[in-house]
Amino acid sequence: MPLHPVRLGCVIVAAAIAAGVVAQIATSPHSATPGNHYLASRPVTGQRPTGRPSHPKPAPTTAPVPRSTTRPAATNNQAPKGKVIYFTFDDGPQRTWTPIVLSVLAKHHAKATFFQLGIQIAELPDLAARVRAEGHTIGNHTYDHKSLTTLTPAKVRWEIEHGPKSTCFRPPSRETNAQIAATAAAYGMRQILWDVDTKDWSEPGAASIESAIMHGARPGAIILVHDGGGDRSQTVAALDRSLTRLARNGYRFISLPC
Ligand SMILES: [Zn+2]
């Protein structure tokens, strides 16, 4: 039975719409999963998967889509770049232990970050320079390790100002608050804390320090150890063994960009 002209028109229009939809899906960069087209046009939050960056084309009538590089709000961590670990050495430079730490790091082709004190650098400027010359970075650990939360804002500024020049700041004993972090930011520094506290300052034994490092090791972890502040022989022994074991597990050791 021949179709009525009006019904025939409807069929043609419906067919044309269907064909258009098929064509749109086929030309969509997300044709495998058309639903992504809509997801992709929304701001992307959280970490994107690794691999090919996604740059959805915003529709002309919508606001520009933020590039999908959003990361969690800056905290103490760097975004991990594969199997890397950030060793950080606090309270130096120290005449005896910093050179020994440097030699252990060199033996393992490891780079690290040293959160140094202004008062120590004033005493041992050549050693501070050597740390940089050997490819490590230096962070600001204040002038002389006062508990910043007990100081007036003016004294906090003084402590930070008289620490080493850096873009990284670590408050002594993790004693900090929003105002202290903001003061550091005003000097162009971001606050860097840590993920793994080895408690090496309490001299718990090299095996205990090594165990803390190995249990805390994961991509991007920041590990706290010390080259200053006391006898660091346990730290050095634990460092040497940990670097061997972690390298065997595929880890690299790099400096924080400070
Ligand atoms: Zn310290």
For 187-210, the pLDDT digits (tens) are 999 999 999 999 999 999 999 999
pLDDT of residue 80: 53
Whether the pLDDT of residue 78 is over 90: the answer is no
How much distance in Å is there from the Cα of 90 to the middle of ligand 1? 5
pLDDT of residue 79: 56
Model confidence over 105-143: pLDDT tens digits? Answer: 999 999 999 999 999 999 999 999 999 999 999 999 999
Mean pLDDT in residue range 68-89: 61
pLDDT of residue 55: 34
Interatomic CA distance for residues 138 and 234, integer angstroms: 23
Model confidence over 211-229: pLDDT tens digits? Answer: 999 999 999 999 999 999 9
* CB-based contacts of 96, cutoff 8 Å, min separation 6: 232
- Do residues 56 and 224 make contact, with C-beta atoms less than 8 angstroms apart? no
Residues with CB under 5 Å of ion ligand 1 are: 90-91, 172
The model carries a pTM of: 0.70
* CB-based contacts of 107, cutoff 8 Å, min separation 6: 240, 243
How much distance in Å is there from the Cα of 224 to the middle of ligand 1? 10
Whether the pLDDT of residue 25 is over 90: the answer is no
* φ, ψ dihedrals at 122, nearest 5°: -60, -35
How much distance in Å is there from the Cα of 141 to the middle of ligand 1? 7
Whether the pLDDT of residue 46 is over 70: the answer is no
How much distance in Å is there from the Cα of 91 to the middle of ligand 1? 5
Which 3 state secondary structure label does DSSP give 144? Answer: coil
**Mean pLDDT for the chain?**
78
Q: Which of 190, 189, 208 is nearest to 198 (CA)?
A: 208
Whether the pLDDT of residue 60 is over 80: the answer is no
Catalytic residues: 90, 226
Bridge partner residues of 88 (DSSP): 113, 224
pLDDT over 90 percentage in the chain? 69
pLDDT of residue 186: 98
Interatomic CA distance for residues 191 and 109, integer angstroms: 27
- Do residues 84 and 251 make contact, with C-beta atoms less than 8 angstroms apart? yes
